[in-house]
Amino acid sequence: MVDFARVQKELQECNKDIDVSGISIKPKGDNLTHLAGTIPGPLATPYEGGTFNIDIILPDGYPFEPPRMQFATKVWEYQAGNNETLKGLLVTTLYIASISVYTPAMLCSVALLHMVLTRHPNISSQSGAICLDILKDQWSPALTLKTALLSVQALLSAPEPDDPQDAVVAQQYLRDYQTFAATARYWTETFARTSALGVEEKVQKLVEMGFPEALVRSTLESVGGDENMALEKLCSG
Amino acid sequence: MQNQEGLQADAEMASVTPIQATEVEDWANFRDDDIMQQQSAIRAVEAEKIPLVGDKEPLSSLAAEYQSGSPILLEKIKVLSEQFDAIRRTRGDGNCFFRSFMFSYLEHILESQDREEVNRITGNVENCRKTLQSLGYADFTFEDFFALFLEQLESVLQGNEASISHDELMQRSRDQSISDYVVMFFRFVTSGEIRKRSEFFEPFILGLTNTTVEQFCKSSVEPMGEESDHVHITAVSDALGVPIRVVYLDRSSCDTGGVSVNHHDFIPAISDAPSGTSGGSETKPFINLLYRPGHYDILYPK
């Protein structure tokens, strides 16, 4: 049984100094087992300026068992490719938001090649799972949701590519840091900033990608205004 | 030349990448959830073998365990049985020291009804609370654990509504949630004491793990299931002012050929040791634990 009284206190404490930490935690539904956290990207990193959404699920044994945390800021990966044709196409999708050259169908076939979240060696590009010891065996009831989110934020500042969650990204981090950093930065700017956008800006952005406005509006509404979820839904038809 | 190498590398990448991709996918199938589920399944199997706190058994059951084992150990158990007549086993889940300490202490209070000792330790618990606050711990992280320990302490004292019997104490100590809350209380107390006196503990911690005091507390004291060492025992004994005797059962033998059983008394550094021992006379611990490499159980002296 989750200790809800404690969770309640945790949320209050955390949201009290939201102006200082930038970290927020809100309930996702009517009960306190599913929460949504946000962390600001740390300064002087490719994640600076972004706001990252963390999906939090509290297991029955909380606070004895660690909270389950996953990155939920969804972005699309381009394949750092070995196929020349694909490479050109995919790289271009990075700019798709501003230059709508491709039809939605083309965009989808490209985007669906790889759906990832936040580009980081210790974050799975498939599930958003975070490789962090305190979320596993090093968890302690002495920690809180907020301190866990602070550790996730610290992980963004100091990746540990030698203990990767995502081997491919870790390899790029080690072998070609420039490309890694540029990609991570681009994604931050393109996707992790959008949560702050107004509805009209989101609609406009998706329309610019080539989706019909009516469909964009209804899709956005159906996913509660989450632009990335809307894009995912639009792409999956 | 460099270009060629580059191309070759690219070509290699091209042929290697798809394989890697599937490998990564395979690994991705082992989600943390799955791994943690498996760990709890392993714990469940362990749980069936022995409760968190076992029944009192005659010391002969210990000898039976080593029947075909090392003769040194059998000799030592013989020596042990001159001083102790029973053992109570605890589950080997990494919390065995704290759980042994918990049961042994509460059982002592239940049997002795030593109110003076209860008042004394309650004062020390308050100090521990202040220590944690001054170290910057948010109250809500530790208050439930403190409250639950004090509740147990209150309930083993007879004569009030909440009083419990020995059977009830047994039951509570085997109840995972109550038992774990008390273990976590001790972990907070231990961590607070180590951090508060970090200069004193630093050299020991460096010798043990080569990490900082802060890191040690975070990774080896505060998480459940992390095993205890001399550092933990010293800290919890000092913080609560409770002396602890640890008797060592291992294969070491002394030069003279005779077999003796070593023990170490952890005597609180702070001078407010239990009452009745004033005047600097040697404090005899009422908590006796048996240490076998990697595990602690409770011993009962004759």
Each residue of B223-267: pLDDT tens digit? Answer: 999 999 999 999 999 999 999 999 999 887 765 667 788 899 999
Using a CB-CB cut-off of 8 Å, the residues of chain B touching A126 are 25, 28
- Please give the helix or strand (H or E) that residue B125 lies within, else none: helix B115-134
Q: Is residue A165 part of a domain?
A: yes
Q: What letter does residue B138 receive in the DSSP assignment?
A: -
Contact between B187 and A142 using a beta-carbon 8 Å cutoff? yes
What CA–CA distances, in Å, run from A235 to A93, A191, A210, A222, B63? 14, 16, 11, 15, 70
Say yes or no to pLDDT of A75 above 60.
no
Q: Amino acid identity, residue B268?
A: P
- Does A52 reach chain B within 8 Å, measured CB to CB? no
Q: Examine the domain organization and report whether B169 and B224 are in the same domain.
A: yes
Q: Is residue B276 part of a domain?
A: no
Residue A10 included in any domain: yes
Residue among A22, A25, A94, A90 nearest A56 (CA): A25
Are B154 and B110 in a shared domain?
yes
In a domain, A64, yes or no: yes
Residues spanned by the domain of A143: 4-73+117-191
> Catalytic residues of A, which ones?
131
**A142 and B25: CB-CB below 8 Å?**
no
Residue A126 lies in a domain: yes
Q: What is the pLDDT of residue A191?
A: 66
Q: What is the residue range of B106's domain?
A: 96-242
Q: What is the mean pLDDT of chain A?
A: 76
| pLDDT computed for residue A99 by the predictor | 31
Percent of chain A at pLDDT > 70 equals 75
SS (H, E, C) chain A: CCCHHHHHHHHHHHHHCHHHHCCEEEECCCCCCEEEEEEECCCCCCCCCCEEEEEEECCCCCCCCCCEEEECCCEECCCCCCCHHHHHHHHHHCCCCCCCCCCHHHHHHHHCCCEECCCCCCECCCCCEECCHHHCCCCCCCCCHHHHHHHHHHHHHCCCCCCCCCHHHHHHHHHCHHHHHHHHHHHHHHHHCHHHCCHHHHHHHHHHCCCCHHHHHHHHHHCCCCHHHHHHHHHCC
Claim to verify: residue B116 and residue B232 sit in the same structural domain: yes
Number of domains observed in the structure of chain B: 2
Answer yes or no: do B213 and B249 share one domain: no
pLDDT in tens, A80-137: 333 444 444 443 344 333 333 333 444 443 443 334 446 688 887 667 788 888 998 8
Active site members of B:
93, 96, 295
How many whole angstroms from its chain centre is CA A94?
A: 16
Question: Does A34 fall in a domain?
Answer: yes
Domain presence at residue A97 = no
* pLDDT confidence of residue B279: 41
Query: In angstroms, rounded to a whole number, what is the distance separating the alpha carbons of residues B194 and B221?
Result: 9
Confidence at residue B21, expressed as pLDDT on a 0 to 100 scale = 41
Answer yes or no: do B117 and B197 share one domain. Answer: yes
What is the amino acid identity at position B257? G
How high is the pLDDT of residue B136?
A: 94
User: Is pLDDT of B4 > 70?
Assistant: no
Domain holding B127: CATH number? Answer: 1.20.1300.20
Mean pLDDT of A165-185: 82
Residue B282 in this model has a pLDDT that exceeds 70: no
Domain match, B208 and B195 both: yes
pLDDT in tens, A191-200: 666 555 677 8
pLDDT at residue number A82: 39
For residue B73, being part of any structural domain is answered with yes
Nearest CB among B24, B32, B222 relative to A129 is that of B32
Q: What pLDDT was estimated at residue A47?
A: 86
One domain for residues B217 and B101: yes
Say if B101 falls within a structural domain.
yes
| B237 plus B250 within the same structural domain | no
A44 in a domain, yes or no? Answer: yes
- Count how many domains chain A has: 1
Stated pTM of the model = 0.77
- Please check the confidence at residue B73 and state whether its pLDDT lies above 50: yes
Q: Are residues B165 and B179 in the same domain?
A: yes
**Same-domain check for residues B116 and B106:** yes
Residue B163 lies in a domain: yes
Which domain CATH number covers A63? 3.10.110.10
Better-scored residue on pLDDT, A111 or B37: B37
